[in-house]
Amino acid sequence: MKTIEIIGYKRANLGKIGAQRAREEGNVPCVLYGGGEQVHFVAPMILFRELVYTNDAHFVHLNIEGEEYQAILQEVQFHPVSEILLHADFLQISESRKIRMDIPIRLVGQAAGVSKGGTLVRKKATLKVYGFPKDMPEHIDVDVTELDFHHAIKVMDMKMPNLEFMDPKRSPIAVVEVPRAAKMAAEEAAAAAAAPAAAAAPAAAAAPAEGEAKKEAPKK
């Protein structure tokens, strides 16, 4: 997995005013935890472009005033309107300790159902995995070539050496949806087939049985 370097500077003011001032100066307030005491620092917002706006997972090499740490990006907060990066949390890691990461999914191939007019629908963007840092991939390729109508690729179908998948096993990753027109045609055909049978049922119930007709004949 690729490693991205972030150079930061320790924060002196930890309040809201200090955080706002850091953002106005083009920095992102950050915190590093997982290695004992938390380390509060700021880092230039421009350094986060490759780390945050990407389709792959990355390790992070933090250099905070000469002190170096290996970490992963754990959580980010964005402004709800401007979408500016407001805050970032990092988790310190080591090669001897297992970690949990959200790894992006990449769908590979053309699904069989798509060739028949269906639509491939992604149900998950990432998978939660648990393992040692050395075994973590930048992304997970999911082959959808054999995926047809009425089938789904689920978490239980995924296998990767030395990694454990943490999402519910039956959670779908990708499905092929039936085209709307084909679905409506099938429903109309089923309704048309059911109509004659429904009409025949009352007629059969109304016709008297042969024995009953003889009993009801008028006496001479």
Extents of the domains making up the chain: 3-93, 101-177
pLDDT, tens only, 110-142: 999 998 889 999 999 999 999 999 999 999 999
Give the 3-state secondary structure of residue 203. Answer: helix
**CATH for 3-93 (2.40.240.10, 2.160.10.10, 3.40.640.10, 2.70.70.10):** 2.40.240.10
- What average pLDDT score do residues 39-54 get? 92
Domain boundaries 101-177, CATH class: mainly beta
* Residue 78: strand pairing partners: 85
Banded pLDDT at 5 (limits 50, 70, 90): very high
Kindly tell me if the per-residue pLDDT of 33 is higher than 60: yes
Q: Which of 20-34, 40-54, 184-198 has the lowest mean pLDDT?
A: 184-198
**What's the confidence (pLDDT) of residue 84?**
87
- What average pLDDT score do residues 10-27 get? 87
The span from the CA of 171 to the CA of 157, in Å, is: 10
The span from the CA of 101 to the CA of 165, in Å, is: 10
Backbone angles phi, psi at 48, to 5 degrees: -90, -5
Q: Which of 25-39, 41-55, 197-211 has the lowest mean pLDDT?
A: 197-211
Banded pLDDT at 210 (limits 50, 70, 90): low
Q: Report the percentage of the chain scoring pLDDT > 70.
A: 81
Whether pTM > 0.85 for this model: the answer is no
- What average pLDDT score do residues 56-68 get? 94
The span from the CA of 57 to the CA of 140, in Å, is: 10
pLDDT, tens only, 81-109: 988 899 999 999 999 999 999 999 999 99
